[in-house]
Every structure is written in C-alpha cells, then in structure tokens.
C-alpha cells in the first residue's frame, strides 16, 4: 500500500492539469492492474475538501461529499477511519459546520469523550459539541 497526498487526488478528481492528471491516472490504473491499494489519511481528506471548496473549484457540499463517498466505495482506496469519515461526511452534507469539525467530533466520541468543547457558537449547535463561554 502507498499513501497519497491531496494533490494527487485533486488532479485525479478535477483533471485541471493535463500532465499531472495523466500521471495520477496512470498511477491509479497501474494500481488497479497490480492490486495495489492507496491510503488516504483523514488529514489528506481535510485538505482535499478545503481545496475543492475554494478557488478555483468552488464545489458545493453535495458535490464534495459525493466525490469522497465515491473514493470510499472504490476498493483501490483505503480511507483512514473510514466509518468515522462517512459519519462526518453525512453530518457535513446536512449541517452547517466544516468537515474537519465533524470529523474531530466523531474522533472524540470514538475516544470516549462525552462531547467536544468549542468557542465556535455555530458549531456548538451541532450534536456532540458544547460551547465553552
């Protein structure tokens, strides 16, 4: 198994740079042929989502969650904390906070925390988060 950086996934998903897109696709096609798998860390997912939300892509939550769900369903990719990522994606699709916030909340719950404390008033309205005043 080999780890991927977010820029490989960005080229693969957006095809916005011909040379790098070709290299990323070639790598992944070779992986499919040889049975290799590629690890995607939660940090890489956070970077990927942050990048896809911003310039020049400006993708909405629905498009972003669909792309990550597609990656998670593809045997070629191994997502770190896959179940937590899918829970965070569900919350991100439906909620008003950012994906990393939801992921942090789910990671804290998995660690046995009763809640996640925050100064973010908007986030504190989400399930599992508590405002610290």
d(C-alpha 67, C-alpha 77), whole Å = 13
Which residues make Cβ contacts (< 8 Å) with residue 19, sequence separation at least 6? Answer: none
What does the pLDDT read at residue 98? 94
Residue 31 C-beta-side C-alpha neighbours within 13 Å = 19
Please report the pLDDT score of residue 2 as a whole number: 96
CA-nearest of 107, 76, 72, 104 to 86 is 72
Tell me the C-alpha distance between 48 and 52, whole Å: 6
The pLDDT score that the predictor gives to residue 37 is 97
State which residues of the chain have pLDDT below 70. Answer: none
pLDDT in tens, 33-57: 999 999 999 999 999 999 999 999 9
Query: What pLDDT is attached to residue 35?
Result: 95
CB–CB of 16/59 below 8 Å?
A: no
Measure the CA–CA gap between 83 and 74, rounded to whole angstroms. 14
Residues 16-27: tens digit of each pLDDT:
999 999 999 999
Q: What local confidence, expressed as pLDDT, does residue 36 receive?
A: 96
Q: How buried is 129 (Cβ within 10 angstroms: 0-12 exposed, 13-18 middle, 19+ buried)?
A: buried
The model carries a pTM of 0.90
End-to-end CA distance of the chain, in Å? 45
Q: What is the pLDDT of residue 57?
A: 94
Q: What is the pLDDT of residue 6?
A: 96
């Amino acid at each position: 198994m080999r780890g991927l950086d977010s820029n490989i996934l960005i080229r693969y998903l957006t095809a916005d740079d011909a040379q790098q897109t070709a290299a990323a696709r070639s790598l992944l096609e070779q992986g499919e042929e040889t049975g290799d798998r590629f690890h995607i860390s939660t940090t890489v997912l956070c970077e990927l989502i942050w990048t896809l939300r911003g310039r020049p892509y400006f993708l909405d939550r629905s498009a972003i969650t669909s792309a990550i769900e597609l990656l998670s369903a593809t045997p070629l990719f191994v997502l770190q904390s896959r179940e937590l990522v899918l829970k965070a994606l569900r919350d991100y699709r439906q909620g008003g906070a950012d994906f990393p916030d939801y992921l942090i909340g789910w990671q804290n719950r998995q660690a046995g925390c009763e809640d996640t404390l925050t100064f973010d008033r908007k986030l504190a309205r989400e399930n599992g988060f508590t405002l610290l005043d």
